[in-house]
């Protein structure tokens, strides 16, 4: 019984090859993201207690709280009514997800200068595998410093970063000196760093598991590490075995970069140039229908509709419009495509090709989060 026995309980988690050097992982987390973006863009809100989400009349919940608001004990997921009672001068703001998404894209573009393997956890948080970094910087710490500097200079926002050979340790580390902090945990320091932490800090330990662990005298990660593996497995099953491995400084999960589809489109070149605007509208509507069917079957919706028009002389223009809420409704997309056609010379000049695309795609889950602003931010 012991370590190897536990290892075999963990499915789909191959062990690191011991001959491989440790991975270098950075976890970056923006500080009070939504609230900070609003304070950046509205200077009169700086230095003030601000929350995004909820209403002063007490409807809804707080999605993000500025650090000034946190001094009053206000935090994300708190009912707005309670937040309003805690701070009389609290400023409530409507979330502007279009803007937060745009900042998130800018953040992603910075990450892409350093890493190919990027795993976003939300709009403002991601793991980066910088075992090999694309900028040729000497260390992961140097990459983290550079990213933090660029976020400050280019986005005029602050973030916190954690650096470790293990994902869960990088995530705990990014939280360690928040806001605007950097914590580096080299492999030989992992156990000293995690053992004094409350077990609650381990991923997957919510209030219920925490209570069950506390009930048997396990309060810190170090307490968990000291319990025989078989005991943990018997009481908590596979999940417990995984927690035990983490308490021993193991986390085999790689940074999972997903390369989501960025857009879906259809286009058509005509045998003969078309001058009749109505005909072009009908063709765009058919293309919108096909694109939306593809999105629907992939469980995706998009926020940006783009049309492409190539004139008889081969000059090509594109026109785009971005919606507040993502869609895959063919009528909505066709309607937007027709409106975009007004911003071209279709109907006035011969047209050789038209196409329509839907971009800025989000999955079902994300769509749901957008509709119900429940994407909390810390």
Closest CA to 22 of 366, 254, 232: 254
Angle between helices 97-112 and 140-150 (to 10 degrees): 140
Pattern 192-221, Mg ion, x by CB under 5 A: ------------------------------
Q: Is 64 in the site for Mg ion (CB under 5 A)?
A: no
Helix, strand counts (H, E) of the chain = 14, 12
User: What six digits make up the tokens of 54?
Assistant: 């909820």
In DSSP terms, 61 is beta-bridged to: 79
Minimal distance, residue 322 CB to Mg ion, in Å: 24
Q: Is 375 in the site for Mg ion (CB under 5 A)?
A: no
Question: Considering beta carbons, is residue 159 or 274 the nearer one to Mg ion?
Answer: 159
User: What six digits make up the tokens of 96?
Assistant: 């502007």
Minimal distance, residue 234 CB to Mg ion, in Å: 37
- Is position 125 annotated as part of the catalytic site? yes
Pattern 20-39, Mg ion, x by CB under 5 A: ---------xx--x------
Minimal distance, residue 237 CB to Mg ion, in Å: 31
Question: Considering beta carbons, is residue 33 or 311 the nearer one to Mg ion?
Answer: 33
Q: Is 124 in the site for Mg ion (CB under 5 A)?
A: yes
Minimal distance, residue 159 CB to Mg ion, in Å: 8
Closest CA to 117 of 97, 143, 96: 143
Minimal distance, residue 80 CB to Mg ion, in Å: 20
Give how many residues touch Mg ion by CB under 5 A: 5
Return the range that interacts with Mg ion (CB under 5 A); candidates 123-131, 149-157, 187-195, 206-214.
123-131
Q: Is 62 in the site for Mg ion (CB under 5 A)?
A: no
Closest CA to 159 of 175, 135, 170: 175
Q: Is 63 in the site for Mg ion (CB under 5 A)?
A: no
Q: Is 251 in the site for Mg ion (CB under 5 A)?
A: no
Q: What's the burial of 275, exposed, middle or buried (CB within 10 Å: 0-12/13-18/19+)?
A: middle
CB atoms within 10 A of CB 57: 10
Q: Is 144 in the site for Mg ion (CB under 5 A)?
A: no
Minimal distance, residue 340 CB to Mg ion, in Å: 35
Check if the beta carbon of residue 310 is closer than 8 Å to that of residue 351: yes
Return the range that interacts with Mg ion (CB under 5 A); candidates 243-251, 285-293, 319-327, 369-377.
369-377
Return the DSSP state at 198: B
Question: Considering beta carbons, is residue 375 or 377 the nearer one to Mg ion?
Answer: 377
Torsion of CA 219, 220, 226, 231, to 10 degrees: 50
Minimal distance, residue 32 CB to Mg ion, in Å: 7
Question: Considering beta carbons, is residue 150 or 178 the nearer one to Mg ion?
Answer: 178
Question: Considering beta carbons, is residue 29 or 375 the nearer one to Mg ion?
Answer: 29
Q: Give the CB-side neighbour count of residue 142, counting CA atoms within 13 A.
A: 10
Q: Is 255 in the site for Mg ion (CB under 5 A)?
A: no
Q: Is 103 in the site for Mg ion (CB under 5 A)?
A: no
Return the range that interacts with Mg ion (CB under 5 A); candidates 45-53, 118-126, 147-155, 199-207.
118-126
Q: Rounded to the nearest 5 degrees, what angle is found at the Cα of 328, between the Cα atoms of 327 and 332?
A: 75
φ, ψ at 268 (rounded to 5°): -150, 130
Question: 217's torsion region: left (phi>0), alpha (psi -120 to 50) or beta?
Answer: left
CB atoms within 10 A of CB 108: 13
Question: Considering beta carbons, is residue 37 or 353 the nearer one to Mg ion?
Answer: 37
Q: Is 119 in the site for Mg ion (CB under 5 A)?
A: no
Q: Which residues contact 188 (CB under 8 A, 6 or more apart)?
A: none
Q: Of the residues 68, 119, 125, 375, which is catalytic?
A: 125
Closest CA to 51 of 41, 62, 40: 62
Question: Considering beta carbons, is residue 124 or 366 the nearer one to Mg ion?
Answer: 124
Task: List the catalytic residues.
Answer: 125
Point out which residues bind Mg ion (CB under 5 A): 29-30, 33, 124, 377
């Amino acid at each position: 019984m012991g370590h190897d026995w536990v290892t075999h309980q963990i499915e789909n988690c191959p062990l690191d090859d011991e001959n491989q050097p440790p991975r270098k992982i950075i976890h970056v987390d923006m500080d009070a993201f939504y609230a900070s973006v609003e304070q950046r863009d509205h200077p009169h809100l700086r230095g003030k207690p601000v929350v995004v989400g909820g209403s002063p009349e007490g409807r809804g919940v707080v999605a993000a709280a500025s650090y000034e608001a946190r001094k009053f004990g206000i935090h994300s997921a708190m009912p707005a009514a309670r937040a309003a009672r805690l701070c009389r001068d609290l400023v409530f703001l409507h979330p502007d997800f279009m803007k937060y998404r745009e900042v998130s894209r800018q953040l992603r573009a910075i990450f892409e200068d350093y890493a190919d393997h990027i795993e976003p956890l939300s709009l403002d948080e991601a793991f980066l595998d910088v075992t090999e970094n694309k900028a040729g910087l000497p260390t992961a710490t140097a990459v983290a410093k550079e990213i933090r500097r660029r976020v400050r200079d280019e986005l005029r926002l602050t973030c916190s970063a954690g650096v470790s050979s293990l994902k869960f340790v990088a995530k705990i580390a990014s939280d360690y000196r928040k806001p605007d902090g950097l914590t580096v945990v080299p492999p030989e320091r992992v156990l000293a760093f995690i053992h004094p932490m409350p077990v609650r800090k381990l991923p997957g330990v919510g209030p219920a598991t925490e209570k069950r662990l506390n009930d048997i005298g396990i309060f810190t990660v170090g307490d968990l590490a000291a319990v025989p593996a078989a005991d943990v497995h018997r009481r908590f099953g596979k999940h417990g075995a995984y927690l035990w491995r983490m308490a021993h400084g193991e986390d085999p999960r790689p940074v999972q970069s997903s390369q989501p589809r960025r857009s879906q489109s259809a286009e058509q070149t005509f045998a003969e140039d078309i001058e009749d605007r109505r005909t072009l509208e009908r063709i765009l509507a058919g293309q919108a229908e096909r694109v939306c069917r593809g999105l629907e079957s992939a469980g995706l919706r998009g926020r940006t509709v783009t049309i492409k028009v190539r004139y008889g002389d081969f000059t090509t223009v594109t026109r785009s419009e971005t919606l507040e809420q993502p869609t895959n409704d063919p009528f909505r997309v066709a309607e937007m495509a027709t409106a975009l056609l007004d911003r071209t010379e279709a109907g006035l000049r011969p047209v050789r090709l038209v196409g329509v695309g839907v971009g800025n795609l989000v999955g079902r889950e994300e769509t749901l989060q957008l509709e119900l602003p429940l994407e909390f931010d810390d």
